[in-house]
Amino acid sequence: MAAAALTGLTIAEARDGLLAKDFSARELAEAHIGAMEAGRGLNAFLTETPERALAGAQEADRRIAAGEARGLEGVPLGIKDLFCTEGVATTAASRILQGFTPPYESTVTRNLWDAGAVMLGKTNLDEFAMGSSNTTSHFGPVENPWRRKGDNRPLVPGGSSGGSAAAVAAHLCAGATGTDTGGSIRQPAAFCGVVGLKPTYGRCSRYGIVAFASSLDQAGPITKTVRDAAILLRHMAGFDARDSTSVEREVPDFEAALSRPLKGLRVGIPKEYRVDGMDPEIDALWQKGIGWLEEAGLEAVEIGLPHTQYALPVYYILAPAEASSNLARYDGVRYGHRAEGGGDLLEMYEATRGEGFGAEVRRRIMIGTYVLSAGYYDAYYLKAQKVRTLIARDFAAAFEAVDVILTPTAPGAAFAIGEKEDDPISMYLNDVFTVPASLAGLPGISVPAGTDGDGLPLGLQLMAPSFDEETMIAAAAAIEARAGFDGAAAAGGA
């Protein structure tokens, strides 16, 4: 099979082809290694681990021959460089983790390797996952493999899992892991025309994932199809005693949920998501999405999520507050970068952290420090936690009446690298539709549903009640089937 044909396969196709011995895991790995090298211009990978991929492929071929194939046997994956990987540099795209090689493996990646997946490399991201454009990486921005029609300016892939989304869209890997704190899986998936799924908080272990905002961080898959997202999630998820917020629940066969009947279910359309100045193309796509779900047998119901408009400011208090504390451990004492130049301990701390963190991370640490500081805690932090309760209650009430909620994933398509850089708030607005589910801990998925006038992909987001990823996946598959979105354009067209 030709290399391009192999890299074009979905995870499901690759799995089936391997089992049918249409090609070997080694061929599959080599094709992807070639694509990864050829795609270096995108800056999607920070570290390439071809030798690991090949070693993994060898073991996969042995197991397939022996009839001992596991669920993801031989599937080559990109791993967001926020997951600690034993013996492989882990940077969080920050200078402050320079030289850090974890002597341990994150639970999610451990689960993936235990299922037979192989690692192609570590993907680029916004520094410490703080960003919506992947431009805050210490190692430079990632380029979106898509281009506007007739315009060759490089576009952002979205963030923070921009490297993973770009790598999947450009067929550099069969699938990738991402993490989502306020939209960091779903928004880049939408920008890159791929599927991104953030599961319910507690579904995937956070053990070994560099923390950004602990009460929000969740790992999830970024894939070419909804089916692939279901397959990958099944092997990422699971109870882990090493994470106190991990939930003791059986992991369902998400792939089986794809064929669930949808007839008679209700989809909620939140009126508050029709924000001011919304791109008419996005609104139009949203209407199409409603139509597709109706076609699939769902009844569309208008719902109210009255506090949703406050989700972003709540998020921009809570996430930086948690981050300011989570990132205190990067002090140049035990690992990572330490500033040169003598001086006393205080100077060492301030120089190390001053030069080790980039501008956006510094900004968020300072906001977080401020909102937690004496005299401001109640006005900012406590207030935000209370509004978070109201947002979660809105969803709980809505899900009394509906089974899933449909919204756009992002208020616009991918923008050019360098745009929106001067105004942090306009950048934050990228997450306006994704942040509410993060605050409520709910699962969300972005499905590529069409393109805008410039030919850029747009995504629709589905949200579901806690731990009902299955219904959400079934509805997402219904949209996918009807949207007829062709993602292959990115792989060839980059």
Partner 1 sequence: MTALIQGATGDWEMVIGLEVHAQVTSAAKLFSGAANAFGGEPNTRVSLVDAAMPGMLPVINGYCIEQAVRTGLALKAKINLTSVFDRKNYFYPDLPQGYQISQFTQPIVGTGEVVLDMEDGTERRVGITRLHLEQDAGKSLHDQAPKLTYVDLNRSGVALMEIVSEPDIRSPEEAAAYLTKLRSILRYLGTCDGNMEEGSMRADVNVSVRRPGGALGTRCEIKNVNSIRFVQQAIVVEAARQVALIEDGGKVVQETRLFDPEAGVTRVMRSKEESHDYRYFPDPDLLPLELDADWVASIKAGLPELPDEKRARFMDGYGLSPYDASVLVAERETAEFFETVAQGRDGKVAANWVMGELFGLLNRQGRAMADSPVGPVELGGLIDLIADGTLSNRLAKEVFEEMAASGKPAAAVVEEKGLRQITDSGAIEAEVDKVIAAGPDQVAQFKAGNEKVLGWFVGRVMQATGGKANPAAVNEILRKKLSE
Partner 2 sequence: MSLDKATVARIAALARIRVAEDELDGLARELSNILGWIEQLDAVDTSGVPPMSRAADQKLRWREDVVDDGGIGEKILANAPAAKDGFFTVPKVIE
Reference 175, options 112, 128, 218, 106; nearest CA is 112
- Residue 485: name its binding partner from partner 1, partner 2, none (Cβ under 5 to 8 Å by kind): none
305 residue type, one letter: L
> For partner 2, which is the closer residue by CB, 23 or 335?
335
Annotation says 373 is catalytic: no
345 touching partner 1, by CB under 8 A? yes
- E-state strands within 70-173: 76-80, 118-123
Catalytic residue among 133, 184, 246, 446: 184
Strand-pair category, 299-303 with 266-270: parallel
Provide the minimum distance between the beta carbon of 387 and partner 2 in the complex, in angstroms, as a whole number.
5
- Residue 118: name its binding partner from partner 1, partner 2, none (Cβ under 5 to 8 Å by kind): none
294 touching partner 2, by CB under 8 A? no
- Residue 401: name its binding partner from partner 2, partner 1, none (Cβ under 5 to 8 Å by kind): none
Annotation says 160 is catalytic: yes
> For partner 2, which is the closer residue by CB, 26 or 383?
383
341 touching partner 1, by CB under 8 A? no
If you write DSSP's letter for every residue of 398-464 in order, what string do you get?
Answer: HHHH-SEEEEESSSS---BTTTT-S-HHHHHGGGTTTHHHHHHT--EEEEEEEE-TTS-EEEEEEE-
Reference 409, options 479, 360, 466; nearest CA is 479
Annotation says 184 is catalytic: yes
Which two structure tokens, joined as six digits, stand for 105?
A: 């493996």
Site for partner 2 in 369-388 (CB under 8 A): 369-370, 373, 380, 382-388
Using only C-alpha atoms, what is the Rg of the chain?
Answer: 21
> Per DSSP, what are the bridge partners of residue 303?
270
Which residue in this structure is represented by tokens 């070997």?
Answer: 24
355 touching partner 2, by CB under 8 A? yes
Helical H segments across 152-279, by residue range = 162-169, 186-192, 226-236
Length in residues, the chain: 494
- Residue 467: name its binding partner from partner 1, partner 2, none (Cβ under 5 to 8 Å by kind): none
Site for partner 2 in 414-473 (CB under 8 A): 424-425, 439-441, 466
User: Binding marks (x or -) toward partner 1, 228..247, rule CB under 8 A?
Assistant: -------------xxxxx--
Reference 51, options 29, 35, 73, 36; nearest CA is 29
Provide the minimum distance between the beta carbon of 39 and partner 1 in the complex, in angstroms, as a whole number.
27
- Residue 137: name its binding partner from partner 2, partner 1, none (Cβ under 5 to 8 Å by kind): none
**Contact residue for partner 2 among 65, 256, 284, 333 (CB under 8 A):** 333
**Four-CA torsion 200, 205, 206, 207, nearest 10 degrees:** 170
Which residue in this structure is represented by tokens 């996969």?
Answer: 60
Provide the minimum distance between the beta carbon of 314 and partner 1 in the complex, in angstroms, as a whole number.
14
Catalytic residue among 160, 205, 246, 466: 160
For the chain, the distance separating the N- and C-terminal CA atoms, rounded to the nearest angstrom, is: 22
Provide the minimum distance between the beta carbon of 322 and partner 1 in the complex, in angstroms, as a whole number.
6
241 touching partner 2, by CB under 8 A? yes
Tell me which DSSP letter residue 333 carries: S
**Four-CA torsion 55, 58, 63, 69, nearest 10 degrees:** 70
Window contacting partner 1 (CB under 8 A); options: 30-38, 149-157, 296-304, 316-324: 316-324
Instruction: Kindly state the number of chain residues that form the binding site for partner 2, as judged by CB under 8 A.
Output: 69
Window contacting partner 1 (CB under 8 A); options: 212-220, 290-298, 303-311, 466-474: 212-220
386 touching partner 1, by CB under 8 A? no
Catalytic residue among 24, 80, 106, 324: 80
Reference 494, options 92, 6, 7, 1; nearest CA is 7
103 touching partner 1, by CB under 8 A? yes
Window contacting partner 2 (CB under 8 A); options: 15-23, 34-42, 141-149, 312-320: 312-320
Residues in contact with partner 1 by the rule CB under 8 A: 83-84, 90, 92, 97, 100, 102-104, 106, 206-211, 213-215, 241-245, 321-322, 324-325, 327-329, 331, 333-335, 345, 349, 369, 372-374, 377, 381
Kindly list the residues in this chain that would bind partner 2 in the complex (CB under 8 A).
99-101, 103-104, 201-202, 215-216, 241, 244-245, 247-248, 307, 310, 313-314, 316-317, 324, 328, 331-338, 342-351, 353-355, 357, 362-363, 365-367, 369-370, 373, 380, 382-390, 392, 424-425, 439-441, 466
Which of the residues are catalytic?
Answer: 80, 160, 184
